[in-house]
Amino acid sequence: MRVIRLIAGAVFKESVRDRVPYAMVVFAVLLIAASYLIGQLTAGQDMKTIKDLGLAALSIFGLFIAVFIGIGLVSKEVEKKSVFGLLSKPVSRTQFILGKYAGLVMTLAVNLGVMTMAFFAMLYYMNATTPAGVRAAWPSPAMDPRLLLAIGLIFAELMIVTALALFFSAFSSPLLATLLTLGLWVAGHFNADLRNFENVVDSAVVVAVARGVYYVIPNLAPFDVKAEVVYGMPIAMRAVSFTLIYAAVYIALLLTATVTIFRRRDFK
């Protein structure tokens, strides 16, 4: 555990020194702030638009951080040959992968935390400057605590994406790993369509294949409760609990697969 913690800390420090996440966070904060201006153009839908844009910014910029930094974690070490020095110390390859993953998750958590604070500051300002009569017409309160649930699920989704990025970077080039991760992220969001494929296709074989794909590729659609939160609709907590359990199991699956591949990888 200590070794994993040390590697995670090093990854976190390295990410903090890296300018990319800063740029992304600044950009996301600016976007969230700009949503206030955009909200003025939406004919009474300002709060909805601000929440939509804010949650989308958190999700998209979190994705960029997870993918672009996640891919570089292993590939950079291999390219710079620093992996030899690291693995010659009493550090197993399993500890190396788990430490890298934990470090990136910490980075992600801090970045999302900053963006969440900016988002809530914007909502607080909107809430404070809007007359009570207008506030009453909003489908859900400005500082709805359920927004934190939506952000929590975004974080869980990004943890899966990070594990995916790490998995692909364990055996392929950075460019290919980026494309594969982003491709699976897109597919994972369209996954819900595969579940009910029998509605649009008659072939039993195609339906069975679609159902198989639905269960095997990461199913990211259930992590998206943004619409429910924005519209003030009830969220089934049972489904949320199982979605979080699913995230834990799928991350464990990806990390196991990454370690399995990485343990046998030859570095030249």
Partner 1 sequence: MSAATVDSRPSNRVGYVAIAVLMAASIGVQIVRDRGWAPFVPPDPTLWLQSGRVAEKVFLGYRHLVADVYWMRAVVYYGGKRQRAGAQQQSRAPATANFEQLYPLLDLVTSLDPHFLVAYRFGAIFLAEPYPAGPGRPDLAVQLLERGIERDNGRWEYFEDIGFVYYWWIKDYQKAAEWFKRAGEQPGAPAWLEPLAATTLAQGGDRQSSRLLWTQLLASDVEWLRNSAQLRLRQLDAMDQIDELNRRIQEFEAREKKRPTDWRQVGLPSAPLDPTGTPYRVNPKTGLVDLGPGSILFPLPR
Measure the CA angle with vertex 31, ends 47 and 17; round to 5°: 135
Of the residues 203, 252, 267, 268, which one makes contact with partner 1 according to CB under 8 A: 252
C-alpha–C-alpha distance, residues 152 and 264, integer Å: 35
Residue closer to partner 1, measured from CB, 109 or 240: 240
CB count within 10 Å of CB 71 equals: 25
CB count within 10 Å of CB 96 equals: 23
Find the binding residues for partner 1 in span 176-215 (CB under 8 A).
Answer: 192-193, 195-196, 199-200, 215
Of the residues 177, 263, 267, 268, which one makes contact with partner 1 according to CB under 8 A: 263
The maximal CA–CA distance of the chain, rounded, in angstroms, is: 68
Residue closer to partner 1, measured from CB, 84 or 124: 84
Quick check: 227 binds partner 1 (CB under 8 A)? yes
Binding letters toward partner 1, positions 21-40, x by CB under 8 A: --------------------
Quick check: 169 binds partner 1 (CB under 8 A)? no
69: tokens are 């930094």
Residue closer to partner 1, measured from CB, 20 or 239: 239
At its nearest, how many Å lie between partner 1 and the CB of residue 156?
13
Residue closer to partner 1, measured from CB, 148 or 239: 239
Please identify, among the stretches 63-71, 104-112, 143-151, 256-264, the one whose residues bind partner 1 according to the rule CB under 8 A: 256-264
C-alpha–C-alpha distance, residues 164 and 166, integer Å: 5
Residue closer to partner 1, measured from CB, 82 or 260: 260
Nearest alpha carbon to residue 66 among 29, 22, 105: 105
Quick check: 149 binds partner 1 (CB under 8 A)? no
C-alpha–C-alpha distance, residues 104 and 108, integer Å: 6
Of the residues 132, 204, 216, 237, which one makes contact with partner 1 according to CB under 8 A: 216
> What b/e readout covers 116-147, taking b as 16+ CB neighbours within 10 angstroms?
bebbbebbeebeeebeeeeeeebebebebebb
The helix-helix angle for 93-129 and 70-79 (nearest 10°) equals: 150
Please identify, among the stretches 68-76, 95-103, 105-113, 237-245, the one whose residues bind partner 1 according to the rule CB under 8 A: 237-245
C-alpha–C-alpha distance, residues 38 and 49, integer Å: 8
Binding site for partner 1 (CB under 8 A): 192-193, 195-196, 199-200, 215-216, 219, 221-222, 225, 227-228, 231, 233, 236, 238-239, 242-243, 245-246, 249-250, 252-253, 256-257, 259-260, 263-264, 266
